[in-house]
């Protein structure tokens, strides 16, 4: 049955998911647009509903997956409902409400050769999403998002991941608790420093588990976590830029680790 009114009780509940407190309370979040809904369907995400523009019908790209959506409810809605429930300035023709899934930190610890990126109070949703996307692209085993970072289910974060949120384990937690557990399992905690003597191209990422710790955009890694860092590296720059954006710096380190692990000559 189509839903036209923005005053509908279900619509009000969906619209609340644009706010973190309601995402936390309902344990759900929204993804917007054909690409992200398609990625959710292909990745077997726990989808509750898929709402599409009733005037246009189900987008062509999604129709072949309608019967394979494993219990998801497909609902036609008005353009007004789409506008109310989505974050983008130009409403997308489809959105999905998805149940959160908790990634298994213990399983990540079991891998003694893992590649993980760790975010310490990275506050910009675009940076958080980009690092999740880069970690996915580099074949990393997981992303750890520490307290004080942007919500991984923020619509801007979700859009920045370009679907990688469905491809790689993303774990939220207290880094002061999680990092020592990783070190107990043999992980090396790696971070960047302008005072470091070793470059990321000299460092050996191919040995034990490499957990790349990236800090806040303005303050960097907190003092408490800095004390836990095993290896500090510098990313050499040939130009005149003072520094790299935190997401770009993480991407450089991730891809250098991938190069060494997957593409270096044996």
Which pLDDT does position 58 carry in this prediction? 95
Residue with tokens 């246009």, as numbered in its chain:
56
Average pLDDT on 105-114 reads 94
What is the value of pTM for the model shown?
0.95
Answer for the pair 211, 190: CB distance below 8 angstroms, yes or no. Answer: yes
Which pLDDT does position 265 carry in this prediction? 62
Answer for the pair 18, 30: CB distance below 8 angstroms, yes or no. Answer: yes
Q: Which residues of the chain are in CATH 3.30.1330.30 domains?
A: 9-99
Question: What is the number of helices (H) and of strands (E) in the chain?
Answer: 11, 11
DSSP 8-state symbol, 7: T
Nearest CA to 85 among 53, 61, 117? 53
Average pLDDT on 49-61 reads 96
Check whether 162 has a pLDDT greater than 60.
yes
CATH assignment of 9-99?
3.30.1330.30
Question: What confidence tier does 69 reach under pLDDT thresholds 50, 70, 90?
Answer: confident
Q: Say if residue 133 is exposed, middle or buried (CB neighbours under 10 Å; 0-12, 13-18, 19+).
A: buried
Answer for the pair 95, 36: CB distance below 8 angstroms, yes or no. Answer: no
Residue with tokens 């976590």, as numbered in its chain:
225
- String of DSSP letters for 215-243: -BTTTBS-HHHHTT-SEEEE---SSS-S-
Structural fold of domain 105-263: Alpha/beta knot (3.40.1280)
For residue range 208-266, what is the model confidence (pLDDT) as tens digits? 899 999 999 999 999 999 999 999 999 999 999 988 999 999 999 999 999 999 997 65
Q: Which residues of the chain are in CATH 3.40.1280.10 domains?
A: 105-263
- CB count, 10 Å around CB of 14? 26
């Amino acid at each position: 049955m189509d839903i036209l009114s923005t005053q509908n009780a279900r619509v009000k509940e969906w619209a609340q998911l644009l706010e973190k407190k309601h995402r936390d309370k309902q344990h759900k979040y929204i993804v917007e647009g054909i690409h992200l809904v398609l990625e959710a369907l292909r990745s077997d995400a726990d989808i509750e509903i898929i709402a599409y523009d009733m005037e246009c019908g189900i987008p062509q790209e999604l129709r072949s997956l309608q019967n394979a959506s494993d219990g998801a409810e497909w609902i036609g809605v008005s353009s007004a409902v789409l506008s109310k429930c989505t974050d983008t300035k130009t409403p997308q023709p489809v959105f999905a409400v998805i149940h959160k899934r908790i990634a298994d930190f213990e399983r990540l610890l079991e891998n003694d050769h893992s590649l993980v990126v760790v975010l310490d109070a990275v506050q910009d949703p675009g940076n958080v999403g980009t690092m999740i996307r880069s970690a996915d692209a580099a074949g990393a085993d997981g992303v750890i998002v520490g307290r004080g970072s942007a919500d991984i289910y923020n619509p801007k974060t979700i859009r920045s991941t370009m679907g990688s949120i469905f491809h790689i384990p993303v774990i939220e937690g207290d880094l002061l608790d999680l990092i020592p557990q990783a070190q107990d399992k043999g992980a090396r905690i790696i971070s960047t420093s302008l005072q470091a003597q070793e470059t990321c191209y000299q460092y050996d990422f191919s040995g034990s588990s490499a957990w790349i710790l990236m800090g806040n955009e303005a303050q960097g890694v907190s003092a408490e976590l800095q004390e836990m860092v095993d290896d500090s590296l510098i990313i050499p720059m040939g130009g005149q830029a003072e520094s790299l954006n935190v997401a770009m710096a993480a991407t450089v380190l991730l891809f250098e680790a991938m190069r060494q692990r997957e593409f270096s000559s044996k």
